């Protein structure tokens, strides 16, 4: 069972929900927010095994290249430019698809593996990390999910937004939790996240973080008949726990709140599977 | 001799486009014919690498010089490696830019633009 946690808007509490739920549900936690993974701050994993994630980049043999520019034309990502006497590669734009190698008539192109980040795996915890200046987290997320397939039950902490990295995190998940906050931006980006998740046909429910009484957010969910899995009350004590790297479930009232969400979720997942 | 300009429109009165990679048109001025030709910039909707794609198009035009407002780091890297001269134009029409080019009153773009 894979449950993915996403939000649209950043800073709504994906990691708060993902880390605390993984604890109360005894699920493994997988941090797919590879641009700035921070789940480890709260879950404090034991020693981990690290491995590099690489992307295949073309290397062009200038002796064999006849400057036909077939590779340049084939590149969907504008990573190659043909000058009169050489081909320039912009490696940060290369997706490693291998099209350039396929179309080269003189076999002038070979590939090298270029590290773009790493993944770290502990017993019930894993995270991906993209190297500085690298723009593309997708390959790391794919590798991270593949390498943690042995964790039977996973909570997947997705990156913010609705980009390719989020799609990669959501792919093949059994259920999605959309975390939002009762602000105009929160609602705006929640609607985007809902659009994405409905397009990907993953069943979902919403958790409202920083809940401060009935608002337009509740109205929206009721109007659209969207399942609300729980509400996390707004309080200074929650902010303090978070800022000190503690899980909210260390506080009894928040623990009750997350246990209630867990029960909602489990009942729901059970109904769905039967 | 030919020169290329990034252009907002496809008329000689159009303004030089501030953007290079995502400009609307490339204007090609032919000094022998004393007239403009226009090529639509099909790379302007690229998800990524629009500057690189534009540089590739401009290189294929075999022009002597490029007149634009500024170049991003990637487009600059490509064009700098070519034999083309790169000139800066700010807020002027294509005609005006060509006149100033002829009068030698444009400055060179010597480094990529950074925000």
Q: Convert the pLDDT of each residue in A117-132 to its tens digit.
A: 999 999 999 999 999 9
CB contact under 8 A, A90 and B55: no
Distance (Å) from the C-alpha of residue A102 to the closest C-alpha of chain B? 21
Where helices occur in A94-234 by DSSP H, the ranges are: 99-103, 138-147, 164-170, 184-199, 216-224
Nearest CA in chain A to B43: A78
More confident site: A153 or A273: A153
Within a 13 Å sphere around the CA of A136, how many CA atoms are in the beta-carbon half?
Answer: 18
Residue A168 has pLDDT above 80, yes or no: yes
Residues A32-60 have a mean pLDDT of 95
Cα–Cα distance for residue pair B17/B37, rounded to 1 Å: 16
Residue A84: the pLDDT is: 82
Cα–Cα distance for residue pair A99/A97, rounded to 1 Å: 6
Residue A72: the pLDDT is: 94
Query: How far is the CA of B3 from the CAs of A37, A104, B30, B64, B84, in angstroms?
Result: 49, 32, 7, 5, 9
CATH classification at residue B86: 3.30.420.130
What the block records as the tokens of A151 is 């964790």
Is B113 domain-assigned?
no
Q: How big is the A-B interface in CB pairs under 8 Å?
A: 36
Residues A25-50 have a mean pLDDT of 96
Closest residue to B49, CB basis, from A78, A83, A84:
A78
A2-48+122-273 CATH: 3.40.50.300
Query: How far is the CA of A52 from the CAs of A49, A130, A144, A148, A251, in angstroms?
Result: 10, 10, 11, 15, 37
CB contact under 8 A, A90 and B49: yes
Query: How far is the CA of B63 from the CAs of A173, A260, B55, B70, B108, in angstroms?
Result: 53, 69, 12, 18, 16
Q: Which residues of chain B are within 8 Å of residue A83 when distances are taken between CB atoms?
A: 59, 78, 81-82
Is B32 domain-assigned?
yes
Closest residue to B56, CB basis, from A81, A86, A93:
A81
Residues of B with CB under 8 A from a CB of A: 43, 46-50, 52-53, 55-56, 59, 74, 77-78, 81-82
CB contact under 8 A, A77 and B55: no
Is B98 domain-assigned?
yes
Distance (Å) from the C-alpha of residue B52 to the closest C-alpha of chain A? 6
Quote the domain boundaries for residue B90.
Answer: 2-108
pLDDT band at A83 (very low <50, low <70, confident <90, very high): confident
Give B53-76 pLDDT, tens digit per residue: 999 999 989 899 999 999 999 999
Nearest CA in chain A to B56: A81
Residues A8-20 have a mean pLDDT of 96
Residue B46: the pLDDT is: 84
- Would you kindly state where each structural domain of chain A is located, as residue ranges? 2-48+122-273, 54-114
Residue B48: the pLDDT is: 83
Residue A135: the pLDDT is: 87
Residue B115 has pLDDT above 90, yes or no: no
Residue A87: the pLDDT is: 93
More confident site: B67 or A152: B67
A101-107 long-range Cβ contacts below 8 angstroms, 24+ apart: A101/A58, A101/A71, A102/A74, A103/A70, A103/A71, A103/A73, A103/A74, A104/A70, A104/A71, A105/A66, A105/A68, A105/A70, A106/A64, A106/A65, A106/A66, A107/A64
A54-114 CATH: 3.30.70.20
Closest residue by Cα to residue A13 from A237, A232, A202 = A232
Residues A82-103 have a mean pLDDT of 92
Number of CB atoms found within 10 A of residue A225's CB:
6
Residues 61-100 of A with CB under 8 A from B: 72, 77-79, 81-84, 86, 88, 90, 93
Total structural domains within chain B: 1
Is B115 domain-assigned?
no
Residues A137-149 have a mean pLDDT of 96
- Asked if ipTM goes beyond 0.90, one says no
The CA-based angle A65-A70-A76, given to 5 degrees, is: 125
Q: What is the pTM of this model?
A: 0.83
Closest residue to B48, CB basis, from A84, A88, A93:
A93
Query: Which residue in this structure is represented by tokens 């992307």?
Result: A55
Mapped onto helix, strand or coil, the DSSP state of residue A68 is coil
Residue A181: the pLDDT is: 97
């Amino acid at each position: 069972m894979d449950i993915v946690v996403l939000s649209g808007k950043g800073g709504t509490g994906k990691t708060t929900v993902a880390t605390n739920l993984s604890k109360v549900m005894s699920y493994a936690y997988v941090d797919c927010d590879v641009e700035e993974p921070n789940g480890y701050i709260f879950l404090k994993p034991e020693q981990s095994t690290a491995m590099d994630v690489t992307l295949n980049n073309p290397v062009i043999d200038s002796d064999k290249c006849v400057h036909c520019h077939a590779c340049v034309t084939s590149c969907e990502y504008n990573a190659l430019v043909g000058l009169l006497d050489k081909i320039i590669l912009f490696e940060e734009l290369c997706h490693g698809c291998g099209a350039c190698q396929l179309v080269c008539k003189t076999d002038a192109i070979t590939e090298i593996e270029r590290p773009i980040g790493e993944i770290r795996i502990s017993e019930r915890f894993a995270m991906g990390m993209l190297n500085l200046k690298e723009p593309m987290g997708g390959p790391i997320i794919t590798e991270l999910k593949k390498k943690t397939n042995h964790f039977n039950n996973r909570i997947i902490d997705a990156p913010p937004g609705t980009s390719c990295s989020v799609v990669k995190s959501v792919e093949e998940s059994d259920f999605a939790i959309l975390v939002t906050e009762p602000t105009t931006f929160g609602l705006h980006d929640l609607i985007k996240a809902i659009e994405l998740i409905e397009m990907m046909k993953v069943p979902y429910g919403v958790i409202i973080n920083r809940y401060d009484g009935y608002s337009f957010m509740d109205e929206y969910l009721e109007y659209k008949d969207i399942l609300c899995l729980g509400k996390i009350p707004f309080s200074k004590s929650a902010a303090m726990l978070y800022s000190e790297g503690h899980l909210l479930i260390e506080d009894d009232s928040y623990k009750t709140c997350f246990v209630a969400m867990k029960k909602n979720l489990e009942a729901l997942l059970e109904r769905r599977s039967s | 001799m030919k020169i290329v300009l990034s252009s907002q429109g496809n008329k000689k009165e159009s303004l030089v486009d501030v953007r290079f990679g995502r400009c609307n048109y490339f204007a090609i001025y032919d000094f022998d014919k004393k007239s403009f030709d226009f090529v639509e910039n099909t790379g302007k909707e690229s998800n990524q690498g629009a500057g690189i794609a534009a540089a590739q198009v401009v290189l294929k035009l075999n022009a002597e010089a490029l007149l634009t407002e500024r170049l991003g780091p990637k487009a600059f890297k490509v064009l700098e490696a070519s034999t083309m001269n790169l000139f800066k134009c700010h807020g002027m029409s294509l005609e005006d830019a060509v006149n100033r080019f002829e009068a030698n009153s444009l400055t060179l773009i010597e480094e990529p633009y950074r925000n």
